[in-house]
Each structure stands twice: as C-alpha cells, then as structure tokens.
Structure 1
C-alpha cells in the first residue's frame, strides 16, 4: 500500500482537474477568438503567406537599416510594393476599359436600334444552321423591343449588379486588412520569427520546429514557382500576341500571366487568341501562337516550376502537383501555397519513418 496521505492524493487529483479545466478553457477561448475573426482569417492567411515569401528580402533589408525606424520603413516599403503589384494590373485593365468605353457605348446603341449583326465566321462553324436560327430569333432584332429590354432591365439584372458590387466591396475591405496585417507581420520581423519558433519548439519539440521551417521554405518555393514563372509565361506569350497582331496584346499578356499562376489555366487565354486569329483567317499566326504557347507552358510546368518548388521542398513533381491542386480545391487560391507545405511535412515524416 502507498504511504502517501489522503490529503496528498486529494491535492494531486485537484491539480489534474485544474490542468484539464485550464486546457478546456484555453481551447474554448481559442475557438471563440477564431470564430470572432472568422471573416478575416483568409486575409490573415494571405498576409502570412506573403510575409513568409518576403522574409529573405526583409532580413537583407533590415540588416542594412538598423533600428526600429529602419525596420518600419522597410516593412512599409514592402507592403506598398505588394499593394501596387496587385492594384496596378486592375488599374491597367480599368484604364483599358475606359479607353474602349466610347466604342463600346456606340456599339451598344447600335445594337439597341438595329440588333447585333451575325458574324460571318458563324457560317463556318458546326451546326451553323441552328446557330443562325437562334441568332436571328434572339440577337438580330432591335434590343429596344419589349421582350429584349425586359430581360436587360429586369430585377435579375439589378440583383446580379448588387451581388457583384457587394463582392467587390468585400474584396476591397479584405485586401485592405490583408495589407495592414502584412505590414504588422513585417514590422515585428525577426523577433516574431524567434518567438514563433520558440513557441513551436516548446509545444512540439525540436522536430516540430524543423517541420515549421520546412513548411516556410515550401511556401517560399511555391510562391516563386507560381508567381515568378507565371509572370515569365505571360511576358513570353505576350510577345507572340504582339508579333501576330492580336488586339489588346498587353491586356491579354497580363491575363495570361495571371492565368499561368494557376495550374493549367494559361492555355485558356492563349487558345482564345488562337481562336480569334483563326476566325480572322490568319492560319499561320494562329498556329504560331498555339505552338509557341504550348511549348512555353510545357517547359514552365514540367521543368522550371517543379525545379523551383521541388528544390525548396525536396518533393517529387507528382507530390508538388497534388499539393497545388488539392490545396486549391480544399482551401481556395491560398491553398496553392498551403498544399505543398503540407506535402512537405508528409514527405519528411515518411523519410524519417523508413530510416
């Protein structure tokens, strides 16, 4: 029998209950805090991903500018650079839209008065007869007719406009909070990194800290592989647009760069340009853009991008691909960076288990 007195047993049980109650309380408080900020979690995650990607540049710049004021200036400069990187393409597209607004307004007024004329190339498409009949019944008539204008000015159009307006306003607000969060993360700089590593090491040991470091490296490699390679694809394929005389080549090049940051999306844009050239009768230009785009995308997706991501994560191409696609399906766009990070931890755990 134990020689410990009953009071000591009672004290031990009391401490166990206190630890359990403290754990439950902490979990409830954390869950409640996450529920309160649930609408801004995507903005926080995006800020964390961008901060991880910019961390090497932050460290180099803060070494050159010592002191709190220098760190604040560096954080402010990087945050502004990120904001301009996102805002400038939208501003460019908006400026292009305004530039074409006069012609678009004239076309819309002509369509209201006379209908939309049927393009000649429709006669060369499959099911040309059915397309011609549908066009004549729905679009060739003046849009000022009661049936057409009813569909244009109905409550559905108003609801769609309100919906997209609300989405745009919400996106702007979240983008602003993301920039604010990014500035704070960059401002605290290395001090935050040390505190996070210390907390992870205290909770999960040295192995957990190594996992965190590998996940951060995976995020940086994925950003380089997706963003940098996507911009390169947009520039190179945009050159083909300029050479072959595709209208609005700069806008299409920008759209191609954005699409190229997502897996298998760049062909959607340059195949649209190929279709336009084909319908204009420029067969040689259409084939040239198609071949050039396929070659660029093939090299980028099968060689350059896996090297950039795989070298940082030590992942094979298949796991990189599954991480990107699965992460995007599960977490949305930010999952493009979270997925490879999770695959990195999985690969490390597998390598350690077979040693």
Structure 2
C-alpha cells in the first residue's frame, strides 16, 4: 500500500489576515448601508425635522420641571396624564396670546380700513406736530397740501392697494399662517409623545451616545442639553422681563394698546437688539402726537432696560449655565438665527458649547 502524505495545514497567519480583511469589508458595507438608510429616512421625514427640533427644544427646556412634577403623588406612574397636562399648558400659553393679538389686529384692520376710506374721500389732514418743527414747516406744508391733503381716490398709492400685488401678498401670508398652524399642531403631537416616553427616552439617548462615542459623547450630549436649557431660560425670562417693564412704561406714557404692545416687545426682546425697534416706534408715535416729554422718557427708560438686560442679565443666565463667554453666546444666538431662523436661536449656543467642550478636551 502506497502511503498517503498528510495534508498540509493552512497557514494560520494567512487565514487570519483573510478573515480580518473580510470583517473589515463587512463593517464598511454595514456602515455604508446604515448611513444610506439613515439619510433615506431623514429625506422621507424632511418636512418634519423642524417640527421634531422645536419639540426637542421645548422638551429639553422643560425636562427638569417634568421630572420634578412626575414625583408628585397625583402624577406618579401616570405618564400619559402628565404628558397631556404639559402639552395642554404649552398650547394655551401659545394660543391665548396669539389669539388676543389676532383679535386686536382685526379690530385695528377695521379701523385702518375706515381711515383709508376717509382718506380716499377727503384726503389726509396736516398733522399738528408739523407746525411745531424747528425748520422746514413751509416746504412740508406745501408738499402735504399738494399731495396728501386732496382726496386720494385717484392717486397711484390708493390704486396700488387694490392691485394684484396686494392680493398675492395676502395669499402668501395666508399660506405661511396655515403652514405655521400645521407645524405647531405636529409639534404638540411630537411633544406629547416625547413627554409620554419620559425618562425611558432620555436614558436610551444617553445609552446610545455612550455606546457610540463613549463617556465623552455622554458628557457632550449633557452639555448641549444644558446649553439649550440655559438659552431658553435666558431668552424667555429676559424677553418677558423687558416686555413687562416696557408695558408699564407704555401705559404710564399713554401709548395705546399698552398690554398688546408689551407682548410684542416681549416677543421681540427674545432676539437681541429687536426690542429697541418696538419702543422706538412707540416713542416716535408719542413725539408725533406732541408728547415730547413722555417720548423722551420712554426712549431713555427703554434704552436702560435693554442695555441692562442684554449686557448683564442675559449673558449671566445663558453663560453661567453653559460656561460660555459672552461673545460666544452672542455669536451663537445671532449666527444661529441667521443660519436656521428662529430655531437657530436655541441651536446656536448649543453648537458653541460643543466647540467649547472640544477645545477643553484639546487643551487639557
């Protein structure tokens, strides 16, 4: 019998390198597949990303309060009831001021329509303050008498009020308003689901961040949440404070619709340097009516309130929670608003916090 030579064992190092290469290719293919699926999913829900982002901002801002109230005896173990109460409160806080503002705007629109009709028939009389101007009274009076004091029925400006451009602007405004209502409705639904998920959702997010990025990823997520929470507190608290103080000033100086104007000032004050536009227009109205002292007083008081709020209160509220310098806070708010719109006001400081955390990791 002819002996059969033993089989040559495969090269173990060669087989291990082949297996490693195969595993590397599989991981690469998995990453590509997962990335493609994620991008496809984001493309499918692209119209709702802004809705989810708004819901995330509100949820992050209210999360400590939600966690505290969840420990009360009435809400313990009743996550659906707690989510319903929080969602309804947010809806009321938004819809009531908006409804009051719309009702007042409709009343003002009726008065404006009556004024325009009277201007068409009788013209616009010369304001009394023109005669009190230090110079240019004859020239302004002559121009006014020639252009505005006569009936404006046939003027180009009045014809333009009935043109196709105005109708187009009206349709565009209606479409934007309908889109805003839809976004708000979907945001409330998303917010309800987020509140209902409760601690389970936050725990899953932190667990996923730790699994993908390690402990540094968890710290980064927590820093970003703190930045969003501090930004919301700084913007809303400062805006509400400025609106309340200037609302009192509007009432004291005799500005009409002081409460509504205070609400508009509070909303404008949530964006840096917009509140002066509102109280500046109110002061200008007082000046036109001949109330020079109240106009100057309102302008000076508003400037002081805005200066203190923007340079001391807001940086402390936002910067102390995020440990960001004032300049980064300002850049984050303004740059975020320019890039992402109103939502960017809250995203910008969070991104600045990421840069600050990364810089801290590099220099330590």
Same fold by TM-score greater than 0.5: yes
Distance of 1:132 and 1:192 partners within structure 2: 68
Tell me: CA distance 1:317–1:140, structure 2 relative to 1, closer, same or farther (3 Å): same
2:347 to 323, 334, 338: 338
1:241 pairs with 2:250:
yes
Distance of 2:63 and 2:187 partners within structure 1: 16
1:59-208 alignment to 2 at 5 Å?
Answer: 59-64=67-72, 65-67=75-77, 70-122=78-130, 124=133, 139-145=148-154, 147-148=156-157, 150-208=159-217
1:46 to 30, 51, 54: 54
Maintained 8 Å contact 2:129/2:290: no
1:25 pairs with 2:29:
no
1:263-342 alignment to 2 at 5 Å?
Answer: 263-342=272-351
Count of aligned residue pairs for this structure pair? 352
1:5-16 alignment to 2 at 5 Å?
Answer: 9-16=17-24
**Counterpart residue number, 1:58:** 66
Q: Secondary structure at the match of 1:171?
A: helix
Deviation at 1:348, TM superposition (A): 2.1
| Structure 2 gap ranges (5+) | 1-9
Range moving further from structure 2, 182-191 or 123-132: 123-132
Tell me: CA distance 1:139–1:72, structure 2 relative to 1, closer, same or farther (3 Å): farther
Distance of 1:324 and 1:126 partners within structure 2: 43
Distance of 2:17 and 2:312 partners within structure 1: 65
1:208-247 alignment to 2 at 5 Å?
Answer: 208-247=217-256
> RMSD of the TM alignment (CA)?
2.3
Distance of 2:38 and 2:82 partners within structure 1: 32
Larger Rg: 2
Distance of 1:63 and 1:203 partners within structure 2: 31
| Structure 1 gap ranges (5+) | none
